[in-house]
């Protein structure tokens, strides 16, 4: 962690999956946390757990839907107030609704884009305003190895992650002079509710193991990281070259 960076973070999508696992690992490392998601009961349960384990930490709960775009600034402000300052925002909330193009699933595809891309952009946009005003901060965004190439059966999900990854890379350049640092996460398959029902999840790892790797990247302010690095680093370069007839077999 760079000197001077305050160890306070807002996590969206903190009620389960990668968000909850990362919250537990960050708390173990001494971070004060603002936990945000739509499901209040799950957030309160996680907050209660962390407060019991780490009574010296400030842990706050913020019920928020990332598709309520106008409320993004209010979420950032309330998290900063609750924690006494905000050093980082983990833009992690996402959904994994599937559906083939032309398969009467456009509503699912629209919801995926509204949540994973537009919702993520709205939170990031609000966070950047806050960080510029205070002189710096860190944005961490959950993308996916699905950003390396659109996956048959869930193309909208890939589009949302490709779009958000591009957005964050643009922010890296725009925010550099404002001391805003960006970490882009590309998780492979992680054993969380979002992959339940997916028939093939090669090289899947446990959420707590993924969280250790993610927090390491956050604290080092690594520009981008694939989780786990192998074999997905190799897949990143191979996937664009796989013929469409073979990709068709790998769909969700």
What residue segments make up the domains of the chain, in order of their start? 8-250
Question: DSSP per residue over 67-116, as a string?
Answer: T-GGGHHHHHHHHHHHHTS--EEEE---------TTSS-HHHHHHHHIII
pLDDT on residue 236: 81
What average pLDDT does this structure show over 204-218? Answer: 95
pLDDT on residue 38: 97
Using the Cα atoms of residue 222, residue 160, residue 164 and residue 128 in order, give the sign of their dihedral.
negative
Q: Are 204 and 190 in contact (CB under 8 A)?
A: yes
- Distance separating alpha carbons of residues 22 and 211, to the nearest angstrom: 5
Give 199's pLDDT tier (boundaries 50, 70, 90). low
User: Residue for token digits 């710096």?
Assistant: 136
Helices vs strands, H then E, count in the chain: 9, 9
Q: What is the DSSP letter of 174?
A: H
Q: Are 28 and 7 in contact (CB under 8 A)?
A: no
Homologous superfamily of the 8-250 domain (CATH): NAD(P)-binding Rossmann-like Domain (3.40.50.720)
pLDDT digits (tens, 9 = 90+) for 58-102: 999 999 999 999 999 999 999 999 999 999 999 999 998 878 999
Q: Which residues of 164-180 are buried (b: 16+ CB within 10 A; e: fewer)?
A: bbebbeebbeebeeebb
Whether the predicted pLDDT of 48 surpasses 80: yes
What average pLDDT does this structure show over 107-113? Answer: 96
Give 3's pLDDT tier (boundaries 50, 70, 90). very low
Of 41-45, 71-75, 154-158, which range is least confident? 154-158
Query: Given 54, 157, 167, 186, which residue is catalytic?
Result: 157
Q: What is the DSSP letter of 176?
A: G
pLDDT digits (tens, 9 = 90+) for 129-153: 999 999 999 999 999 999 999 888 8
What average pLDDT does this structure show over 20-32? Answer: 98
The answer to whether residue 167 is catalytic is: no
Encoding tokens for residue 133?
A: 């005003």
């Amino acid at each position: 962690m760079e000197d001077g960076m305050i160890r306070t973070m807002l996590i969206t999508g903190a009620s389960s999956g990668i968000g909850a696992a990362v919250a537990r690992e960050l708390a173990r490392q001494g971070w004060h946390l603002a936990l945000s998601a739509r499901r209040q009961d799950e957030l309160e349960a996680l907050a209660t757990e962390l407060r019991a384990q780490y009574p010296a930490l400030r842990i706050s709960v913020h019920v928020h839907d990332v598709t309520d775009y106008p409320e993004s600034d209010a979420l950032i402000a309330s998290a900063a107030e609750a924690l006494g300052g905000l050093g980082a925002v983990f833009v992690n909330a996402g959904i994994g609704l599937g559906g083939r193009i032309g398969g009467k699933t456009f509503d699912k595809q629209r919801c995926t884009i509204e949540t994973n891309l537009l919702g993520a952009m709205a939170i990031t946009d609000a966070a950047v305003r806050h960080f510029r005003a205070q002189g710096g901060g860190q944005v961490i965004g959950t993308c996916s190895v699905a950003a390396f190439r659109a996956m048959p059966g869930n193309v909208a999900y890939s589009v949302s992650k490709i779009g958000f990854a591009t957005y964050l890379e643009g922010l890296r350049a725009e925010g550099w002079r404002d001391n805003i640092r960006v970490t882009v996460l590309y998780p492979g398959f992680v054993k969380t509710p979002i992959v339940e029902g997916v028939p093939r999840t090669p090289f899947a790892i446990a959420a707590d193991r993924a969280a250790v790797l993610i927090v390491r990247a956050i604290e080092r302010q690594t520009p981008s990281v694939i989780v786990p690095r192998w074999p997905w680093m190799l897949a990143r370069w191979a996937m664009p070259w796989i013929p469409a007839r073979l990709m068709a077999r790998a769909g969700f």
